[in-house]
Amino acid sequence: MALPAKNLLSNETSPYLLQHKDNPVHWRPWSAAALQEARETDRPILLSVGYAACHWCHVMAHESFENPKVAEAMNRHFVNIKVDREERPEIDQIYMAALSATGEQGGWPLTMFLDPDGNPFWGGTYFPPEQRYGRAGFLQVLEAVKAAWQNKRADLLKSATALKSHVESRLSPDSGHSASPAALLGDLAPKILRMIDMELGGLRGAPKFPNVPFMRVLWLQALQSGDASSKAAVLFSLKSMLSGGIYDHVGGGLARYATDDQWIVPHFEKMLYDNAQLLRMLCWAYGKTQDELFRYRIEETVGWLLLEMRDVNGAFISSLDADTEGVEGQTYLWTEEELSSVLGADANRFLEVFSLAQPEGWEGAPILHRRSTPESQGGETETALRDMLDRLLEARNTRPQPGRDDKILVDWNGLTITALAEAGRTLGRRDWIEAAQTAFRFVCESMNHGRLPHSIRAGNRVFPGLTSDYSCMISAAAALYQATGDATVLAQADAWRTVLDEWHADADATGYFLTASDAGDVPMRIRGDVDEAIPSATSQCIEALLALSVLHNGALGAHLAHVVEKALGRAASQTYGQAGTVYAAALAEEPMKLVMVEPDAEQVFVPVANRHLDPRRFDIVLAGEKEVMELPGGVTVDPKRKAAYLCIGQTCLPPFDTANALEEALRRRH
């Protein structure tokens, strides 16, 4: 049945798609029906991919998609498909890889032209309506593509076929020779370290992203080898970004990236995944250094997550917009006069630590930062500053606020649940752990026949879920188990692992595809090997299987070894883009297991373990168990003897009888 000649986005649940429901463009959501329309009408597809918090997506929408003249050309010559990259990351990954293969720099909005079978032949990102910025105008682009489709179709189809083959070889490659995880980690970490800007933090140049996959490689290398330089690079980079304008000093939370090389000018959108990953890194950093700066930022970031990013069900929404009322960052900006009006006599003291910046090229009001005083100023001073910041927050809350993308993404919620559980352990905050449990329950209640959705909003769920959804939720279950001792979450995690095997495993059962086998509208099945702002789905899967094998089902170890071997074989030729897999494989090579027997009401060992969280270590608490536990090397755990047992790989150390002895052992390995 032919689709009607009108915009079809009004019944979608994605906030990004709904932003475009009143465009004069005849948008279709990605679907088999839209692809069929292209084949039946013999028209190429204009694919536009973005997300709700994206500033330049808004700009292109206002300039072009709301323009009747542009819309008329689009409707006459193309089948126009709009995709929310967060709701359909597999579609985004395919066509972003295609754009990169043409030599163009990626980004959003992503604008790709496809043949009626969905094969890409040309594209770009943002196009202005008329030629400027050295970029062709969008109307010119539309006319050029239309003319090429009419006059040079054979060449375009040949290009599309070749480009599709290239993308398939990149995103679903065969596995080659696999080096050892330790060797790959030892080779990759020094290369990343040489890219670190030790004057400004992060990777050299601009824009500056947190780049958690790289930071995690450096952190693990420091733990494994005692490399002080790698540890220092991570800690310095964290302090640099936390002192810059990329961090919201008033309300908490990190923006997606800084447009400059000093972390001062943020791209103001605030993403759930960035802050979940930041929170874990801060917990590790605080455990290592006991630097109060990291504790303050943990508390602020969790406070922001619970206040601004939770929906009524206790799960976490996706993002806050970069723009407020069409102006980038308007909610977050301050003039000195505004600070004085709120802080009064305290303003001068406040500006001894904080600064207002208007760097060259920034046209908005000043940006608040503390780059000149990144270190903690001491408890009394920091407490006074927090009081001033709270007063500013109260005033800021009276301003218009940025838009919220309130869809709930299962994988991002898994990341956040894990981070909250670890933060709750680190700072002894039971309420944070309970918030994580609430989000976990909501995701579980959203399943259908044991299968997870990927996205949830307004009672609607997008099925089937992705490998990343199952992997992140399995890891979340492992984090909650270590925080609470509730074994039911591990049983649920193992059930999710069974679903992964049934719907996502490859033919050899030694790896997984990002999409389920019954996902009927994807142009190709991809692995999910490549890192983006978060580590790849493949790396998440390795971490999930590792946690399950250590905490719940030791028989998974052999399967995990095969998955790691094949994943490393695919990663060996592009380790920069697959740093997540290198990291996860190195974790799996020699994990640590800490079993703490705590038969009394007052726990002795657990507080020590919580102070020294380690991504390599998995913690089990036995309290009142009757049966003995067997550990590697024939070590038997007596459930009645108060002791702690630490195993590294297949070797277990003699049991520790005191908290001090355990603390010393963990410090040596931390």
Task: Give the start-to-end residue ranges of the domains of the chain.
Answer: 15-171, 592-668
Q: Given its phi and psi angles, is residue 564 left (phi above 0), alpha (psi -120 to 50 degrees) or beta?
A: alpha
Q: How far apart are the C-alpha atoms of 214 and 670, rounded to whole Å?
A: 19
Please give the pLDDT value at position 169. Answer: 86
Residue 472, token pair as written in the block: 């992140």
- How, if at all, do strands 617-622 and 592-597 pair? parallel
Per 3-state DSSP, the chain is made up of helix, strand and coil in percentages (nearest 5) of 50, 15, 35
* CATH code for the domain defined by 15-171: 3.40.30.10
pLDDT, mean of each 10-residue run, the chain (670 residues): 89 96 98 95 97 93 96 97 97 95 91 96 93 84 96 93 90 81 95 97 96 97 95 98 98 96 96 98 97 97 98 97 93 97 97 95 94 94 97 98 97 98 98 98 98 96 97 98 97 98 95 95 93 96 98 95 95 88 97 95 95 97 85 88 94 95 90
Q: Is 449 exposed, middle or buried (0-12, 13-18, 19+ CB in 10 A)?
A: exposed
Residues 6+ apart with CB under 8 A from 39: 116, 117
Greatest CA span in the chain, whole angstroms? 82
Residues 6+ apart with CB under 8 A from 247: 241, 253, 254, 255, 263, 297, 369
Residues 6+ apart with CB under 8 A from 410: 443, 446, 452, 453, 454, 455, 456, 465, 469, 472, 473
Residue 597 CA: distances (Å) to CA of 77, 276, 326, 424, 552:
70, 31, 57, 21, 17
SS3 at position 144:
helix
Render the burial of 66-86: b for 16+ CB within 10 Å, e for the rest.
ebeebbebbbebbbbbbbbbb
Residues 6+ apart with CB under 8 A from 58: 19, 322, 323, 326
DSSP-derived secondary structure for 602-670 = S-SSHHHHHHT--TTEEEEEESS--S-EEEGGGEEE-TTS-EEEEEETTEEPPPB-SHHHHHHHHHHT-
Cα 251 off chain centre by: 20
SS3 at position 592:
strand
Please give the pLDDT value at position 132. Answer: 78
Using an 8 Å Cβ cutoff, are 467 and 529 in contact?
Answer: no
Task: Tell me which residue of 112, 480, 84 sits closest to 319, measured CA to CA.
Answer: 84
Q: How far apart are the C-alpha atoms of 488 and 490, rounded to whole Å?
A: 5
Tokens 């069900």 belong to 313
Using an 8 Å Cβ cutoff, are 629 and 637 in contact?
Answer: yes
Q: Is 599 exposed, middle or buried (0-12, 13-18, 19+ CB in 10 A)?
A: middle
Q: Is 670 exposed, middle or buried (0-12, 13-18, 19+ CB in 10 A)?
A: middle
| Residue positions counted in the chain | 670
* Amino acid identity, position 202: G
Please give the pLDDT value at position 151. Answer: 95
Please give the pLDDT value at position 1. Answer: 58
